[in-house]
A and B are shown apart, each in its own frame.
Chain A
Amino acid sequence: MRIARRAQAGTMQSSDLMVAVEPAEALSVEIESTVKKQFEHLIRAVAERVLAAHGVTAGRVRITDRGALDYAIQARLETALARAAEA
């Protein structure tokens, strides 16, 4: 799929995350997290897995994480992607 417009999903509550996506020429994933030092590698791994599964090759993905578990990260990112897709 292609990121056609800005979209976001999630909340800033503890154990949740906010995902914002927008169109861009290259693919980038920016991560801010309360547990960045301990878990950035795992957050990035989930994000890249989800992006690959949806065939996303371009776009800017910003994750602001408050200690969410993998399934929450996957769900929020997939929702943001669905909202950003062409209608």
Chain B
Amino acid sequence: MARNSLGRELPASFQGRPVVPYRDPWSVRPEGLRATRALKRVDPGQPKLVQNLQEAIERCGLRDGMTIATHHHLRNGDALLNHVVRMIDHMGLKDVKIASSSVHPVHAELVPLIREGVVTGLECGVNGLIGELCSKGELRCPITVRSHGGRARAVSSGQVPIDVAFLAAPACDEYGNLNGAHGPSAFGSMGYAFTDALHARHVIAVTDHLVPYPAAPASISQADVDWVVRMERLGDPGKIVSTTTRVTTDPVGLQIARYATQVIEASGYLKDGFSFQTGSGGTSLAVAENVRNLMRAQRIKGSFGCGGITGYFVDMLEEGLFQALFDVQCFDLKAVESIRRNRNHLEMSADTYANPFNAGAVVNRLDVVILGATEVDVDFNVNANTESNGLLLHNTGGHADTAAGAKLAIIVAPSMRGRLPIVRDAVTTVTTPGATVGAVVTERGIAVNDRHPELKAELLRRRAPVKDIRQLQREIEAVTGAPRPLEFGDEVVALIEYRDGTIIDAVRRVKG
């Protein structure tokens, strides 16, 4: 057992790889070259469209022990990953690792295939049942959780070699040009799939909408796609929307949004050239709504909106409040429609979005990001992966990446959830280190990290309800009572990999 700089106990190795403990967000400098793959030659007249998925998989030479990947743009409406793993099972393959960009509750169908040893590892974070069962020790399948930028780094550096990538292709031609903007399963940006198309040893485009050559626009090029195969339905784009994607009407959420807006105003970043990211939760959108009104009133011309894109940001683009949107993933169908139509609604790869080891990611250009949390602690560390009951239920997404990149990361959360206080002595799991967090905003006040003394002084000058984070913690616990600590077993069920590849925390089996 080693401890990292945050005091988290880590195993010496996991899934056959040595564990490098996290130290700080900045000191790891990459060495070596980007990963590469074999040269290929496809001659004139040689077809790439094959009869069925089994043939495509056979032509890629997938064998026991290899790694596959899909991407999660259809979110909880995705049918591809289940379809692929069922086929792998049908072909009698075992010990396959999944390195998809994320796994959702709809993929609970994989649980029996994990039990049978068809799938034996997840090189990606999970949302929902699989993580819950692993946390309880009811399912054995080691999980390595990565942020979006961390995944792009792991794949492009060769840390996680993908043997076969399956690209969900909502519009595709028989030679492999494809885009996500058209067709019955259109989900918009191909964001996470770019990394796979460029680095996987073999690339299969799976489509339910084969169009005459050439598919245009070609977000992903024929030059990177080995095989094309048809599937009846890639999934249900109506299920992309996983959260409310409406401005909250909850008074607690609205109060948090008011305070968060005060923090943005006091930061001095809200001026011409402003760049901004929020999630799609109701409180985050309430902040976006406030920011939009301020930008209108003060005639501020922003630079860009970023991240998973919602209709809210589309409206801001079309109003001229932003020059452009960088979109790694469309969060609702209005965003899908916009990426078809708006030239300045830019499709962005996960690499460009957030990889710490390239020539500069978009997150580095963010002024302000609004992020959620299941817990924060008195050192401003944030948990976005596990709940206070210790269960691994959420993937990291861009949380750690945007916090590291943005000038100011603001965490918004209610002070308590179902009696559980949000501010803890130590979070159950560290997703994002406190060194990259600017402020924690609850309906009971604003705690500013000491790394931002000018922001704190300005907020105090504006008579905003600034509180020391320990004072905030005491006030909340006076209402909830102090929770008893959870008990964990020794068995490590998941590692939380920081974006640079070091390990920021380990998730252990929950006792009882």
A and B found bound together: yes
Interface of A with B (CB < 8 Å)? Answer: 14-15, 34-35, 37-39, 41-42, 66-70
Pairwise interchain contact B417-A67, C-beta atoms closer than 8 A: yes
Partner of A35, one of B418, B479, B487: B418
Residues on A with C-beta less than 8 A from B512 are 37
Chain B residues numbered 457-495 whose CB sits less than 8 Å from any CB in chain A: 479-481, 483-484, 486-487
Name the prevailing secondary structure of the A interface residues. loop
Interface of B with A (CB < 8 Å)? Answer: 388-389, 417-420, 479-481, 483-484, 486-487, 512
Pairwise interchain contact A69-B480, C-beta atoms closer than 8 A: yes
Pairwise interchain contact A39-B417, C-beta atoms closer than 8 A: no
Could you tell me the distance between the alpha carbons of A38 and B480 in the complex, rounded to whole angstroms?
11
Pairwise interchain contact A69-B486, C-beta atoms closer than 8 A: no
Query: Nearest residue in B to A16 (C-beta to C-beta)?
Result: B418
Pairwise interchain contact B479-A69, C-beta atoms closer than 8 A: yes
Pairwise interchain contact A34-B484, C-beta atoms closer than 8 A: no
Residues on A with C-beta less than 8 A from B418 are 14-15, 34-35, 66-67
Pairwise interchain contact B481-A35, C-beta atoms closer than 8 A: no
Pairwise interchain contact B479-A39, C-beta atoms closer than 8 A: no
Count how many pairs of residues, one from A and one from B, have CB atoms less than 8 Å apart in the complex.
37
Could you tell me the distance between the alpha carbons of A87 and B484 in the complex, rounded to whole angstroms?
40
Partner of B483, one of A15, A38, A66, A70: A38
Pairwise interchain contact A15-B389, C-beta atoms closer than 8 A: no
Name the prevailing secondary structure of the B interface residues. loop
Pairwise interchain contact A37-B419, C-beta atoms closer than 8 A: no
Q: In whole Å, how far is B132's beta carbon from the nearest beta carbon of chain A?
A: 14
Could you tell me the distance between the alpha carbons of A38 and B484 in the complex, rounded to whole angstroms?
4
Pairwise interchain contact A39-B481, C-beta atoms closer than 8 A: yes
Residues on A with C-beta less than 8 A from B420 are 35, 38, 67
Q: A37-B487, A38-B484, A39-B481 are in contact. List 17 more A-B contacts (CB 8 A).
A: A15-B418, A15-B419, A35-B388, A35-B389, A37-B389, A37-B484, A37-B512, A38-B419, A38-B420, A39-B419, A39-B484, A41-B484, A42-B481, A67-B417, A67-B418, A67-B419, A67-B420
Most B C-beta atoms less than 10 A away, residue of A14, A34, A37: A37
